[in-house]
Structure 1
Amino acid sequence: MHIRGWWTAILALTSIAHALPQPDALLDDAPDTHNATHLTKRDGPPQHNAEIYLGSISRPRKKRAKWGPPYTYDYDPSAGEGSLIYVIDSGFDIRHSEYKTLKHVPRWIMPKSWPRGWDDTLNDPTGHGTCVGSMIAGQKFGVAKNAELVIVKTAGAERIDKREYIDNYLEALEATADDIDAVLSNPGNGFNLGDIYINMSGSVKIGVFHRAWNSHDRDRLKSIMQRLNQKAMIFACTGNVRGIDFYGEFLGTLLGYPQLWYKELPNMRLVGMATQNGYRSKKTLNAPEGHLWAIAEDVLCANNKPSEPEIKKTGSSMASPQAVGLAAQLARLPNKPKGFPDPKSDFRGFVEQMEIQLYRDSWIRPESKGKTEGGHVMAVRLISNQFLNHCDDSDGCGCVIM
C-alpha cells in the first residue's frame, strides 16, 4: 500500500479508537443529559466528598474531573420537601447525627404485638433501618434531605419460620396502611396523593412456603399491599440471592414476598442492585426482575454503633432508598409540563410518569462480557430494563449509551 494510504488508514483507525468509550473513562466525558428531561432539577449547592451513589444520581457537571472519588453531589436544597416517606425497617438509631439532624422529627409506628423479648423502644437493634433511613433523608447520606419520615419498626433480626415474627410484620404493614388513610383524610396534615412513598428493604427472613407461612397470611398480606398500592408509591428492593432451605423449600426475604405481586400492584416499583462500575450484580441475578437499578455496592451510610458511626453496605436493600429519595425530589419540582398527570385525579398515571422521569435521569453502561454474568446492560444511574430496549432519544428521553 502507498505510504499515503497507510497514513490515511492509521488516521481513520485512530479517530475510531478515540470515538470509542474507554473502559476506565466511560463516565468522564459523557454529555449532561439533564436538559433533556421534562422535569428540570433546581440548581443547588454541591456536597463534596459524597458517596458514589449520591454522585451518580446528582446532576452531572458538564466540566468535571475524572469520575472517581471524591465524588460531588449537586443536591437540591429543597429536595423532598412536602413528601412523606414510610421506612418499613428495623428502626433508626436516635443517637446518630443523621437522625438528630433530620429536617423533620420522624413519627414512629410500632406493631401491636412484638416477638418475645423484642425491644419496642425508639432504636434500631440491627442497624439496617439506620442505614436505609440515612440514605433517604439524612443530611450527609440522603437524597431527599427535606422529606418527612415515618419509621415503621419491624423485627429486624433474622428468624426463620417464627409465627410471632410473621404476625409482627403483617401488623406493621396494616398499621402503615391505617396511618396513611388517617393522613390523607385530614387536609390539615398537608399531604395528598402523590406526596406519600413507602420504602421496603428489610432483613427479616422466613421460609415463604414453609409451615409457619400459611394461606391466610398470604391473603392478608396481599390485601394489605393492595391497600397501600392505592395510596402510595412503593419502592421495594428486589432481594439478593434466592436459595433453597434445608427443607428443600423456597427461602426468600419476608420483605421481598410482596414483590411477587408487583405485576398486580401498578404503583410498586422494584429496585435492583448495580455494582460501583454500573453493572448488574451477580447477587441480583436470581431475584425478581427489577424496574429500576441503582449503585448499591460498598455504599457508605449511617450505622447504629457509636464506635462505628458509618459503615459500608452492599445489597439491593441499599438501592431502593435511592429510588424513593429521587422520586420524592422529582415529584415536588415546580413548573411541571402541560399534561403531567395530577395524582389527585390520576394517581396511576402520575406513578407511571414518575417512573419515566426516573428513566430519563439515567445513564447506561454498555454490555460487557466478563463484567457480570450474562453480560447484562446495566445502569450507572437509575434505569429501567424496559427502557433499555428503546433508548434512542427519539422521544426526548435524553439517555446516553456510552
Structure 2
Amino acid sequence: MYYNQKSGNGQGVNIYVVDSGMNIDHPYFEGRASNFAKCYTNLDGDCYKDYTGHGTAVGGLAVGKVVGTAQGANVTNVKCFYNAGKAGKRTNMVWVNSALQDILNDHLAKLKDKPSGWTGSVVNLSWGDDGNRDSSTAKLINNMYYAGMTVVVSAGNFRDSGVSADSTWPCNMNTICVGAINKNYEQDWYSNTGGNVTVLAPGTDVYTLDYDRTSIHHETGTSFASPIVAGIVAGFVGWEDMSNGDVDDVNKARARLAANMLTNILGDKEGSSNLDGSDNNFATNGIRHKNRKLNNPYVGVGDVIESSTYIDYNPFGFKTVTGEISLYGMAATATHKGATTTDAGSITVSINTAAITNESAALATDDPTIVFVSNSTTPASTPATTPK
C-alpha cells in the first residue's frame, strides 16, 4: 500500500477519527496518533481512552502499521462516544456538533499557519442513526467541504432489517458513503445499500488494532470499511498536497478516488444483480491499476479538474440534503481480515498487507450499539429504542 516505501503514503495528512476514543499508544500507530485538544465526554471515566475498541480499530485501518491504508498519515482521536455498558456507546448532538465545529476550526487554523509538512485533512465518521435531528450537522459537513476537508462515513449495518443508506445520516450528506464487501468481493449481507453508497471496501473479517493490548485482531462492519477509504483518500491528499482550503481540494480527492476504482466487478451476498442500488465501485489506491502511468503512484496524478463551488458537485453522484437529518444506530461489530493481492480481471488489486484467511468473524449483533441520546450534556434517563 505504500507510495513511499520508506515513509508510507498519506504523509502530512491528518485524519480526524470521531469515535469512542483511541489507544494512541498502540505500537502500530508508531507515534502518529494523538488526542484532540478538547474533551467532549468523560462519562466513562476518561476524555480520550477507548473502553470498547471501536475507535482504535477504526484508526488502525486508516493509518496503522501493517493494517492501515495510509501508513504515513497522522490520526487524531476525537472522542464523542462513551461506554455505557450494556446500554451501548452513547453520545448526543451537542457533543457531535461541537466536535465537528472544533475539527473545522483546527483545520482552518492549519490553513492559516501552514505548519511544516502539513498537506491536508480527512475526517472519518464510522457511525450514524435514523432518528430525526436538526440540520446543523449537515451544515457543518458542508462547511468542511467548502474548507477543503473530505469526510468519509460508513453506510451502516442494518441491511437485513430493511434500513437503506439513502435515509441514514451522515451517509445522506455531503460525504463519501462506504459499504462493505467480504473476501469474495461481494457486498455483504449486513451492509446498508442504496444510491448513497458510492463505493465499497473490505469490511468483513479485516485485521486491525486491538485497543487494550499491543496486538492486532479482526473486525466486521461498515465501520471498518470507511477508514480503509479514508486512508486511500489521504494517500491522494498527501501526494498532491491538497491544502488549499477550498472545494477544489475535496473535488480533486473525490475525482482521484473515482479514477482509481474498479467498476462492476463486485457481486452481492444476497444475490441482488444491482447491489440493491449501491454503486458497483470497489475502492483501490491505484498503485496496481492498469491505467496508472509509469512513475505515478495512481491514476490521475496532476490532472486538472473542473473548478466548482457547488456543494453538490461530486463525480459519484453524492447527495446533499437539507431539513431534518435521519440518523441510525450502528453496531460496533466484530472484526475484519484484510486482503493482500487479488486478481480482478487484468488488474491486480492490493487491498492491504494482512493476508486473508478462511477464518471468519460473524457480525456481532449483540455488541454495543452507538445510540444517540438527548441534546443535553448528560445521558438520557430513558433506554434507547431499537433501530428500525
- The alignment's TM-score, normalised by the length of structure 1, stands at 0.60
Q: Distance in 1 between matches of 2:160 and 2:39?
A: 29
Q: Which residue of the partner structure matches residue 183 of structure 2?
A: 276
The equivalent of 2:256 in structure 1 is 357
- The whole-number CA distance in structure 1 between the counterparts of 2:102 and 2:188 is 34
Assess if the C-alpha contact under 8 Å between 1:279 and 1:378 holds in 2: no
Aligned to 1:147: 73
Structure 2 distance, partners of 1:183, 1:90, is 25
Q: Which amino acid aligns with 1:135?
A: L
Pick aligned residue for 2:229 from 295, 315, 323 = 323
Instruction: Report the Cα distance in structure 1 between the residues aligned to 2:299 and 2:109, rounded to whole angstroms.
Output: 37
- Say if 2:48 and 2:77, in contact at 8 Å, map to a contact too: no
In structure 2, give the amino acid aligned to 1:106. Answer: S
SS in 2 for 1:271: strand
Equivalent residue for 2:122? 197
SS in 2 for 1:136: helix
Distance 1:167 1:344, change over 3 A: closer
- Kept in 2, the 8 Å contact 1:89–1:201? The answer is yes
The 1:354/1:175 distance shift into structure 2, 3 A limit, reads closer
Equivalences, count:
290
Cross-structure match for 1:128: 54
**Cα deviation 1:163-188 (Å, max 9, x = unaligned):** x6332222222221222222222234
* Aligned position for 1:187: 114
Question: Equivalences for 1:103-252 in 2 at 5 Å?
Answer: 104-112=32-40, 114=41, 117-157=43-83, 165-188=92-115, 190-191=117-118, 195-202=120-127, 208-209=131-132, 213=133, 218-231=134-147, 232-241=149-158
Please give the alpha-carbon distance, in whole angstroms, between the structure 2 residues aligned to 1:160 and 1:208.
16
Q: Greater shift after overlay, 276-285 or 368-377?
A: 368-377
Tell me the distance in 1 between the aligned counterparts of 2:188 and 2:262: 17
Q: Distance in 2 between matches of 1:356 and 1:292?
A: 13
Question: Partner of 1:145: helix, strand, or coil?
Answer: coil
Indicate the percent of aligned positions where both proteins have the same amino acid: 19
Instruction: Quote the Cα distance in structure 1 between the aligned partners of 2:205 and 2:50.
Output: 21
TM-superposed CA distance for 1:259, in Å, is 2.5
The answer (yes or no) to whether the contact 2:141–2:151 under 8 Å persists in 1 is no
Distance 1:352 1:118 in 2: 39
Secondary structure of the 2:247 match is helix
Note if contact 2:181-2:200 (Cα within 8 Å) is conserved in structure 1.
yes
- On the 8 A contact 1:110/1:154 being kept in 2, the answer is no
* Structure 2 counterpart of 1:53: none
Separation of aligned partners in 2, 1:301 and 1:169: 25
Change in 2 beyond 3 A, CA 1:275/1:243 = closer
2:16 is aligned with what amino acid?
Answer: Y
State the structure with bigger RCO (CA 8 A, min sep 6), 1 or 2: 2
Aligned 8 A contact 1:90 1:125 in 2:
yes
Structure 1 residues 181 and 243: alpha-carbon distance in aligned structure 2, compared to 1, 3 A threshold: farther
Please tell me whether residue 260 in structure 1 is matched to residue 186 in structure 2: no
Please tell me whether residue 93 in structure 1 is matched to residue 23 in structure 2.
yes
Point out where structure 2 has 5 or more consecutive residues left out of the alignment: 292-297, 301-342, 347-388
Find the aligned partners of 1:189 and 1:85 in 2 and give their Cα distance: 17
**Code of the aligned partner of 2:234:** A
Partner of 1:80: 10
User: Which one has the bigger helix percentage?
Assistant: 1
Give the RMSD, CA atoms, in angstroms: 4.1
Q: Write the letter of the residue equivalent to 1:200.
A: L
Report the Cα distance in structure 1 between the residues aligned to 2:58 and 2:151, rounded to whole angstroms.
15
User: Contact (CA 8 Å) 1:240, 1:286: kept in 2 or not?
Assistant: no
Show CA shifts across 1:224-249 (max 9, x none): 2222222211111111216889xxxx
Question: What is the CA-CA distance between 1:370 and the residue it aligns to?
Answer: 6.8
Structure 1: tracts of 5 or more residues without a match: 1-33, 35-40, 45-75, 263-267, 337-341, 384-391
CA contact (8 A) 2:160 2:190 kept: no
How far residue 98 of structure 1 moved from its aligned partner, in angstroms, is 2.2
Code of the aligned partner of 2:137 = L
Taking a change above 3 Å as real, the CA distance of residues 179 and 119 of structure 1, as seen in their structure-2 partners, is farther
Distance 2:267 2:33 in 1: 45
Q: How far apart, in 1, do the equivalents of 2:237 and 2:71 lie?
A: 14
Bigger radius of gyration among the two: 1
In 1: Cα distance, 2:117 partner to 2:4 partner: 26
